Amino acid sequence: MPAFPNRKPRAFTLVELLVVIAIIGILVGLLLPAVQAAREAARRSQCKNNLKQLGLAGLNYESTRKHLPPSALLDLSVTNTSNNGSWGVHGRLLDYIEQAQLHDLVNTELAWDGQQAIHDVRIDVFQCPSDPKARESRPFDDGKPTLWPTNYGFNFGTWYVFDPSTKKGGNGVFYPNSNLKLARITDGTSNTLLAAEVKAWTYYTRNGGPASTDIPNTVSDAIAMVNSGAQKKTTGHTEWPDGRVHHTGFTATLAPNTEVLVQDDSGTEVDADFNSWQEGKNGSEGSPTYAMITSRSEHPGGVQVAMVDGSVQTVNNDIDLLVWRSMATRDGGETLQADF
The predicted structure's pLDDT at residue 77: 83
Judge whether 189 and 182 are in contact, CB under 8 Å: yes
pLDDT band for position 8 (cuts 50, 70, 90): low
Q: Give residue 11's pLDDT.
A: 61
pLDDT at 36: 65
- Dist CA 134 CA 154 (whole Å): 17
Query: What was the pLDDT predicted at 31?
Result: 66
**Percent of the chain with pLDDT strictly greater than 70:** 91
Identify the pLDDT of residue 18. Answer: 77
Name every residue whose Cβ is closer than 8 Å to that of residue 252 and which is 6 or more positions away in sequence: 155, 157, 158, 193, 295, 324, 325, 327, 328
Task: Say what the pLDDT of residue 185 is.
Answer: 97
pLDDT for 113: 92
pLDDT at 310: 97
Structural contact between residues 125 and 50, judged by C-beta atoms closer than 8 angstroms: yes
pLDDT tier at 336 (50, 70, 90 boundaries)? Answer: low
Cβ neighbours around 80 below 10 Å, total = 10
State how far the Cα of 248 lies from the Cα of 240, in Å rounded to an integer: 6
User: How much of the chain is helix, strand and coil, in % rounded to 5?
Assistant: 30, 15, 50
| 81-119 tens-digit pLDDT | 655 689 999 999 999 999 999 999 999 999 999 999 999
pLDDT (tens digit, 9 = 90+) per residue, 242-279? 999 999 999 999 999 999 999 999 999 999 999 999 99
CB atoms within 10 A of CB 120: 11
* pTM strictly above 0.85: yes
- Measuring CA to CA, which residue among 308, 331, 104 is closest to residue 195? 308
pLDDT of 21: 82
**Can you give the residue ranges of every domain in the chain?**
41-328
Q: Label residue 209 by pLDDT band (50, 70, 90).
A: confident
> Is the per-residue pLDDT at 2 higher than 80?
no
The yes-or-no verdict on residue 38 having pLDDT over 90 is no
Reported as half-sphere exposure (CB side, CA atoms, 13 A), residue 110 has a value of 9
SS3 at position 159: coil
pLDDT band at 23 (very low <50, low <70, confident <90, very high): confident
Which of 67-71, 128-132, 264-268 has the least mean pLDDT?
Answer: 264-268
What is the pLDDT, as a whole number, of residue 37? 66
Tell which wins on pLDDT, 199 or 338. 199
Contacts of 127 (CB under 8 A, 6+ apart): 50, 134, 135, 148, 149, 150, 151, 200
The whole-number average pLDDT for the span 209-219 is 88
pLDDT computed for residue 85 by the predictor: 84
3-state class (DSSP) for residue 74? coil
> For residue 46, what pLDDT band results from cuts at 50, 70 and 90?
very high
Instruction: Inform me whether the pLDDT recorded for 122 exceeds 90.
Output: yes
DSSP 214-276: SPP-SHHHHHHHHHT-SEEEEEET--TTB-SHHHHEE--SS-TT---EEE-TTS-EEEEEEES
Q: Flag whether pLDDT at 76 surpasses 90.
A: no
Res. 12 pLDDT band, cuts 50 70 90: low
pLDDT in tens, 149-206: 999 999 999 999 999 999 999 999 999 999 999 999 999 999 999 999 999 999 999 9
Across the chain, mean pLDDT equals 91
DSSP 110: S
Q: What is the average pLDDT across 217-244?
A: 96
